[in-house]
């Protein structure tokens, strides 16, 4: 079984993504899981032993870390810092995000991802562009000066330049023509509905037409009201659409997260929506308690995925297994990566989070 590339990680309790197993060994070779078997059946000495091991987390909406907001510093070093921040919080993979901005900033962020990948940077699944094709009535901290409905030419130019790099776009479906949405889909980009004032009917139609996700549930979208169910109501009622949520207690009250979880079940997943302190650029983020504000408006969280997990378990009361899926398997499903990520099974990529008995992060193992 053993070779110089083979490594074994041992867990007192292993969460595979579907079930808990006791005293298990995970055999890894060249970034792939070769085998999961009881410790007593494994003859290879483990490189490390942990109380608990689970699938590594994935954060598909995060803007910057350690003083480098990607939109202000669209360079590879900002992505290296993001990876460090995410890995310290238990995430092996991340999707750097740029909020509503100029096209020049988007192009430079695309360049940064390409350079990061050429340098061998780990964990970056692609770029998430949030806006500027959103509804100004639900812009939140996004600047009105950049917001617009895109022409087919604008969308095609951005998608062509970012082909293979742009993996998600958040937009308001009511401000984008069908031709634009169809074009985005043709590039394999995941569309997420957000910063939207869509009616319940408009939102349901958008989800029925193939938009698979929604961005930060409750925040910057038409609310659930008894005579106007809005986008929140459509997300609750639609059988397939998945939605991200920011579990910091500031973006959404923990009781509202519990309500959403009861309504949505496996369709609800976590993002950090984390930013970093900055005084430069159009979005100066300043830390206030455990959140960030920009120009007097809530603009991002100070979460890690590890802290998100703790909040889901202790503040919302979600079962540990389900909380773990909300930070790993479900984001992987949204991004179409659940055939190789989000589980600990033979043939899957060896992306692992190493935990103590309190579900605190001890480290990660990354396949790529």
Q: Is 184 helix (H, G, I), strand (E, B) or coil?
A: helix
| Phi, psi (degrees; rounded to nearest 5) at 16 | -80, -10
Two tokens at 133?
């094709």
Distance, in Å, from the CA atom of 83 to the CA atom of 94, rounded to the nearest integer, reads 7
Distance, in Å, from the CA atom of 204 to the CA atom of 14, rounded to the nearest integer, reads 39
Which residue of the set 144, 182, 208, 273 is catalytic? 273
Two tokens at 239?
């059988």
- The bridge status of strand 291-294 relative to strand 297-301 is antiparallel
Two tokens at 275?
């930013």
- CA–CA distance from 173 to each of 134, 147, 148, 168 (Å)? 8, 14, 12, 14
Hey, which residues does 55 pair with through a beta bridge? 352
If one counts every other C-beta atom within 10 angstroms of the C-beta of residue 118, the result is 9
Cis peptide before 336 (omega within 30 of 0): no
DSSP per position, 31-95: TEEEEEEEGGG--SPPSEEEEEEEEPEEEEEE-EETTEETTTS-SHHHHHHHHHHHHHTTEEEEE
CB proximity list for 363: less than 8 A, separation 6 or greater: 48, 353, 354
Known catalytic membership, residue 273: yes
- CA–CA distance from 263 to each of 20, 84, 270, 276 (Å)? 25, 34, 15, 32
Distance, in Å, from the CA atom of 248 to the CA atom of 7, rounded to the nearest integer, reads 36
Two tokens at 243?
């939605």
| Strand (E) or helix (H) holding 337 | none
If one counts every other C-beta atom within 10 angstroms of the C-beta of residue 21, the result is 15
CB proximity list for 321: less than 8 A, separation 6 or greater: 15, 20
Q: Is 309 helix (H, G, I), strand (E, B) or coil?
A: helix
Known catalytic residues are 273
């Amino acid at each position: 079984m053993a070779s110089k590339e083979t490594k074994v990680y041992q867990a007192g309790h292993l969460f595979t993504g579907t079930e808990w197993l006791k005293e298990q060994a995970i055999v890894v070779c060249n970034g792939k899981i070769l085998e999961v078997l009881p410790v007593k059946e494994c003859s290879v000495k483990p490189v490390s032993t942990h109380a608990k091991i689970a699938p590594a987390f994935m954060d598909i909406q995060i803007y910057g870390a350690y003083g480098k907001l990607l939109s202000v510093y669209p360079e590879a070093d900002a992505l290296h810092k993001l990876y460090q921040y995410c890995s310290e919080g238990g995430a092996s993979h991340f999707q750097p995000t740029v909020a509503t901005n100029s096209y020049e900033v988007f192009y430079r962020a695309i360049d940064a991802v390409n350079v990061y990948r050429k340098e061998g940077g780990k964990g970056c699944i692609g770029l998430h562009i949030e806006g500027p094709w959103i509804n100004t009535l639900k812009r939140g901290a996004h600047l009105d000066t950049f917001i617009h409905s895109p022409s087919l030419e604008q969308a095609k130019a951005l998608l062509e330049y970012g082909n293979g790099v742009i993996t998600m776009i958040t937009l308001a479906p009511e401000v984008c023509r069908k031709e634009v949405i169809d074009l985005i889909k043709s590039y394999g980009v995941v569309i997420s509905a957000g910063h939207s004032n869509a009616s319940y009917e408009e939102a349901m139609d958008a989800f029925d037409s193939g938009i698979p996700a929604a961005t930060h549930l409750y925040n910057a979208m038409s609310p659930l009201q008894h005579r106007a169910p809005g986008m929140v109501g459509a997300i609750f009622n639609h059988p397939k659409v998945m939605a991200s949520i920011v579990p910091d207690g500031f973006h959404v009250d923990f009781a509202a997260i519990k309500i959403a979880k009861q309504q949505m079940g496996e369709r609800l997943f976590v993002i950090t929506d984390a930013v970093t302190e900055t005084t430069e650029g159009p979005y100066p983020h300043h830390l206030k308690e455990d959140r960030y504000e920009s120009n007097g408006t809530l603009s991002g969280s100070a979460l890690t995925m590890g802290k998100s997990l703790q909040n889901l378990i202790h503040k919302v009361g979600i079962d540990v297994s389900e909380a773990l899926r909300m930070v790993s398997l479900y984001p992987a499903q949204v991004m179409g990566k659940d055939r190789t990520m989000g589980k600990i099974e033979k043939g899957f990529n060896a992306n692992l989070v190493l935990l103590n008995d309190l579900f605190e992060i001890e480290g990660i193992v990354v396949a790529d």
